[in-house]
Amino acid sequence: MTLPDVIVIGSGMGGATLAAALAPTGRRILILERGDRLRPTAADRDDEAIFGRGHFRPDDEWLDGDGRPFNPGNYYNVGGNSKFYGAVLIRYRAEDFRPIRHMGGMTEGWPLSYDDLEPFYQRAEELFQVRGQLGEDPTEPPHSGSYPFPPVPDEPPIAGLRRRLKAAGLHPASLPLAVDLPRWLEHGRTTWDAFPDTCGGKLDAETAALATALKHPNVTLFTNTRATRLVCGKDNRITAVEIMRNGQAESLEAPFIVLAAGAVQSAVLLLASADASHPAGLANGSGQLGRNFMNHNCSAVLALHPLRRNDCVYQKTLQVNDFYFTGGPGGEPLGNIQLLGKISGTILASGAPVPRLLAGWLARRSIDLYAMSEDLPNPESRVSLRNGRIVLDWKRSNWQAHELLVAKLKDVLRKAGYPLVLSRAFDRRTPSHQCGTARMGHDPRHSVADPFCRTHDHPNLFITDASVLPTSAAVNPSLTVAALALRAGRHIAEREFAP
């Protein structure tokens, strides 16, 4: 095999988008994915298989901070977790890049501004063919262009919800979505939230970014290939990636290495690559590797009316950001509200102690929402290794703000004509946008990577997944990860590949 110029570890949102950015350079790019491509199966649209039996959940077992085992629900396949995502591609707000006072503490802000990232947000929206509408959401940051496609339309029950929320004084807005709705519906009447994309109906890391990269003959994908260790040379450059491919150990070399295995697995790989010169792990001169883990505070909220049936198929077309910048007792931000994919009785019964018949009755009469609040960076919230096992000691923060957001949402929904409103928080088994274990910053003493995603300690090692996010904001991070990967790709192409 010809020596690649770049090895990208991971084919999720950060790795696939970085490959798409570099592919036009003509440099040889090798993408390593520990899993395989998802293939169509009978379980793809089976509520019981997915939510009841956990058909697609891997058998991973991690430990929590108290040493108790749990199944984390992270996926390993071509396209990464995006194969199961809700396809919401929303920009962080401009204010999210600045220091913000929250009910749970102060965030420091980012080493770059929204304006620095805006052109790459625009490119990412074009790459992922985002459906959206400008002008509806007063928190929407400036855009240099419009969305590539109009928004996914509301189904009648959601159009009714939109009218009621407006009448209650809120500003409901269309969710930016990366879904080819006709193609998705051709393969079964199911929402896309948490369902696997085996038909190309979602524009995810595989169907959008990786497909774009693989159009170029200089890009190669290895599946069933797990990176087990990075090898560092005397000059602090990464000299090799040790892998297991189809059960065989190998060693690969390239001038540049890009790590995009996800916020947990990227930190784990760097920690597992410790050597005599780097006893605390590679890229860990700051001691911050694995720290500042964040996972959004999230709750499902069901608005019910006994006389109104909700026969929506896809439902997830609306968001509310009226409490994004304010709402706390001192004007602190509370978070984002968006619709969930339509739940069924099977889904509801699998996640709550509700009899199946009652769950079905409730599901047919509910509109299902998702309340999301920012989890703040905390050095003691961290990923580590204990005797080779992954330990995720997630320390929730800013929970009071989330409880207030849920309370305000319930109040608004009752005023909008839904007499019964129920809520349930998500636990650590639901990976709600994991990020932050290799935070970016200008100062190598307090951060792992620089604003272009290059690690401070290793000049040829970049990280382009959600690990580098300094804050989690309160919206889905996928588009921000893609935008950062495009920005890093341009930097590598212009600076590192320059003759």
pLDDT at 191: 85
- Is it the case that residue 333 has pLDDT exceeding 80? yes
* Digit-coded pLDDT (tens) for 237-251: 999 999 999 889 999
- Is it the case that residue 351 has pLDDT exceeding 80? no
Give the contacts of 331 (CB within 8 A, at least 6 positions apart): none
pLDDT at 234: 86
pLDDT at 430: 64
pLDDT at 431: 61
Confidence of residue 349 (pLDDT cuts 50, 70, 90): confident
DSSP count for the chain of H helices, then E strands: 11, 20
Place of tokens 């591609």: 89
Question: Phi first, then psi: what are they for 228, rounded to 5°?
Answer: -110, -20
What letters, b where the CB count within 10 A reaches 16 and e where it falls short, cover 59-98?
A: ebebbeeeeeeeebbbbbbbbbbbbbbbbbbbbbbbbbbe
Q: Which of 30-44, 108-122, 177-191 has the lowest mean pLDDT?
A: 177-191
- Is it the case that residue 297 has pLDDT exceeding 70? yes
**Cα separation of 69 and 394, whole Å?**
13
- Is it the case that residue 426 has pLDDT exceeding 90? no
Shortest CA distance to 158 belongs to which of 342, 414, 408?
A: 342
**Cα separation of 251 and 239, whole Å?**
10
**Cα separation of 69 and 78, whole Å?**
26
Average pLDDT over residues 384-411: 96
Place of tokens 């929407």: 140
Strand order in the sheet with 69-70: 69-70, 62-63, 389-393, 382-386
If you count them, how many residues does the chain have?
A: 499
Confidence of residue 1 (pLDDT cuts 50, 70, 90): low
pLDDT at 447: 98
> Do 438 and 453 contact (CB within 8 A), yes or no?
no
Mean pLDDT, the chain, rounded, equals 95
> Do 296 and 373 contact (CB within 8 A), yes or no?
yes
- Is it the case that residue 5 has pLDDT exceeding 80? yes
Stronger pLDDT, 263 or 60, i.e. the higher one:
263
Average pLDDT over residues 12-30: 98
